[in-house]
A and B are shown apart, each in its own frame.
Chain A
Amino acid sequence: MHSALARINNVSSLFSTCLMVLLAAVALSSLFVTADPKGRIDVVSLKVYNAKAKRYPFKEQEFGFVKFDVDADLTPLFNWNTKQLFVYLEAEYANSQGVNNTIVLWDRIVSRKEDAHVVVSSGRNKYKLKELYESFKNTSPATFSLKYNVMPYVGLLTYGEAARTDGQEIPEARDAIA
């Protein structure tokens, strides 16, 4: 502390320690929040069509098309340490080989508390619903679930599930109307 430089050194190291303690306190304060919001998903329609895979022009592939309604009030998840919510709709089924598959069909980033009441009517899947073995024959019924990921400003990522449907049989593939 004998010179200005020594004082700057001292204060800056003290400042960084205090800053880390402050950030740890902020992270801990939002880790044990017990909000568990629930919502509702309705799968309006699920259709499967035969088509050609985009990448390999001669490869046949079955694509699924989902229309759904979602209504979930996720406002309890917004606290002072919430930066944004990542909300996504997943389809889960076991394929003909018995392997469990989970596919993200639709997602949305919610950055403000005002937008946190997620209401989607007649939403369509953003991402392709296709099976690795090119066909949905002999797969188990698919359940659709609405999950969320809370992204804090400081701290650990936390996950949760807001809604889940019963198993729905994936229908037979049909040819697209030309």
Chain B
Amino acid sequence: MAPLQDIFEGKIDFIGQRRVDSIARVALAACTIASFVVGYALQSLRVTMGTFALSTLLVVVMVVPPWPMYNRHPVRWRKD
């Protein structure tokens, strides 16, 4: 039961949390601008919405699961 709960909790350490926060913010802002520019250049609203949806999916895959790279700095508890 406990391993299942751990899987769903998806805990990451504090450095990882900070990294995930900045990745999500930068990536989404950049993808908004990029998808508008690309769609405007190609004069196709489908391209804009498509690239925006795909990039959001990419961000979700990169940020939500607890990848091991976000657990590289675990909290060091005191021994006593």
Contacts and interface: CB of A to CB of B under 8 A. Distances in A.
Contact of A3 (B10, B31, B63): B10
Interface in A16-35: 18-19, 21-22, 25-26, 29
Interface stretch (A6-14, A45-53, A140-148): A6-14
B71 interface: no
A139 interface: no
B9 A3 contact: yes
A26 B32 CA distance: 11
27 contacts: A1-B20, A2-B12, A3-B9, A3-B11, A4-B64, A5-B10, A7-B24, A7-B63, A7-B64, A8-B60, A11-B59, A11-B64, A14-B24, A14-B25, A14-B28, A15-B56, A15-B59, A18-B29, A18-B32, A22-B48, A26-B39, A26-B45, A26-B48, A80-B39, A80-B44, A80-B45, A153-B45
Instruction: List the 6 closest A-B pairs by CB distance, nearest first.
Output: A4-B10, A1-B17, A80-B43, A18-B32, A18-B28, A3-B9
B36 A26 contact: yes
Given A1-B17, A1-B21, 7 more contacts: A7-B10, A8-B64, A14-B25, A18-B32, A22-B35, A26-B48, A80-B40
Contacts of A29: 40
A81 B24 CA distance: 28
Given A1-B20, A3-B9, A18-B32, A11 B63 contact: yes
Interface of B: 8-12, 17, 20-21, 24-25, 28-29, 31-32, 35-36, 39-40, 43-45, 48, 52, 56, 59-60, 63-66
Interface residues of A, number: 22
Nearest to B18: A1
B60 A11 contact: yes
A165 interface: no
